[in-house]
Amino acid sequence: MAEQSQEEIYREKESISYFQKLQSSLGGVLTGLILIPISLLLLWCNEGRSVDEYKTLKEAQKEYVRAPLEKIDSALEGKLVYVSGKVSVVGDVRDPLLGVVVNGVLALRRLVEMYQWAEKCTTKREQKLGGGEEVITECTYEKVWSSSAIDSSNFKKKQGHENPQKIYSQEIFYSPEARLGVYRLNQEQIMKIAQWESYHLEENLISNIKIKTKTSIEGGKLYVGEDPQNPKIGDYRISLEVAYPKEASVIAVLQGDNLVPYVASSGASLSLASAGILPPENLFAEAKRQNRLTTWLLRFLGWLLLFIGLSLIINPLQKLVDFIPLLGSLVGLGLSVAALAVSIVLASLTVALAWLFYRPLLSLAVLIVGLGVYLALGYLKKARSLANTKASS
């Protein structure tokens, strides 16, 4: 978002009784009971996904062979191959909405922003004696350029802040034929190797544009509206980006002149592609790094859902004593710490059990090492205690 106008402010004050708060918290218990099994399932399945991905990469790293860039070797049909070199394209890429035709590119991407109302709300809660609270909500409304459609039907103050439906959207148009040497690239591979650059629209393209309302070119972008210097709600800014054919590296299965995903013995699929000429070791290393990153992000998400679920379940206990403001705050803090501790233990236990299920040998080795360290520390502590006893006597 960018270029905002002077903001408007809307305030709303609501008084909530002690019993309304308690009723609302009891409703959250059901949500918590749903979130907990979802979080545990996510944590469990994430470990399985991570192991499958690791095994697939390990298996593929053993099986791939290098393929020549300029000719297809029929002996490599159905095999996992590594290819790197210059990418070439045939044919034009066209955006039918703008009537723009570009030659010699991998892909053409249309970016669309609409001038819209945006709402930002902050809520302040003030506890009252007796367990009730006063909720003060303050919302600001400002006009912004946004690539996402903002739904104004959920605004606190809808009147005067209605956003029209977004009718033009982002879209990607691909080259009819893109090849790495003699091998045809699919759209997924093109997206992985694409390096996007701005495409400057010229004034003489106006006649080709399939938009009925007034348009103009402003700073290499298409403006849809009356006045670019004085935008109105519902106006558009449309720009283009192109990806030129450069060098690329791909690891995939050779099928005719196509490079298709590799299917491992576990059933998981794999297709690696990157811009530039990279050794296969780098492609595998990056895929492993992405797998580790995804694994930890999903672990964090699973733990967070678990913590929220537990917090919702025990929240009524805090609301019960909320009629005494200080006591309610202290109990709330204690319950939050308890939910944090329990969620960490449950998440760790779930991941550990998943490891035992999906990686039994590795888990057994870790347990043996851990047990060995524990016994060694116990032995050292006992030996030190005996030495101290002898020294004192």
In a domain, 251, yes or no: no
Helix (H), strand (E) counts: the chain: 5, 19
Q: Given phi > 0 = left and psi -120 to 50 = alpha, else beta, which region is 264?
A: beta
H or E element, residue 243: strand 236-243
- Torsion sign across C-alpha atoms 177, 182, 188, 193: negative
Read off the pLDDT of residues 318-329 as tens digits, 9 standing for 90 and up: 766 666 666 666
Above 50 in pLDDT, residue 334? yes
In 207-232, which positions are buried (b, 16+ CB within 10 angstroms) versus exposed (e)? Answer: eebebeeebebeeebbbbbeeeeebe
Torsion of CA 254, 257, 261, 265, to 10 degrees: -30
Read off the pLDDT of residues 145-194 as tens digits, 9 standing for 90 and up: 999 999 999 998 999 999 999 999 999 999 999 999 999 999 999 999 99
Distance CA 96, CA 283 (A): 36
In a domain, 330, yes or no: yes
In a domain, 322, yes or no: yes
| Boundaries of domain holding 326 | 300-392
What does the angle CA 290 – CA 296 – CA 301 come to, to the nearest 5 degrees? 125
Distance CA 201, CA 43 (A): 48
Q: Is 328 helix (H, G, I), strand (E, B) or coil?
A: helix
In a domain, 374, yes or no: yes
Above 90 in pLDDT, residue 133? no
Q: Tell me how many domains the chain contains.
A: 1
Residue 234 burial (C-beta neighbours within 10 Å; 0-12, 13-18, 19+): middle
In a domain, 355, yes or no: yes
pLDDT of residue 218: 87
Above 60 in pLDDT, residue 259? yes
pLDDT of residue 317: 74
Region 117-131: mean pLDDT is 80
> Which pLDDT band, with edges at 50, 70 and 90, does 8 fall under?
confident
Please answer whether residues 216 and 291 qualify as being in contact, where contact means their C-beta atoms are separated by less than 8 angstroms: no
Please answer whether residues 15 and 132 qualify as being in contact, where contact means their C-beta atoms are separated by less than 8 angstroms: yes
Least confident of 27-41, 112-126, 224-238, 363-377: 363-377
The more confident residue out of 4 and 334 is 334
Above 90 in pLDDT, residue 308? yes
Read off the pLDDT of residues 16-43 as tens digits, 9 standing for 90 and up: 666 666 677 777 888 999 999 999 999 9
379: Cα separation from own chain's centroid? 48
In a domain, 229, yes or no: no
Please answer whether residues 89 and 106 qualify as being in contact, where contact means their C-beta atoms are separated by less than 8 angstroms: yes
In a domain, 173, yes or no: no
In a domain, 386, yes or no: yes
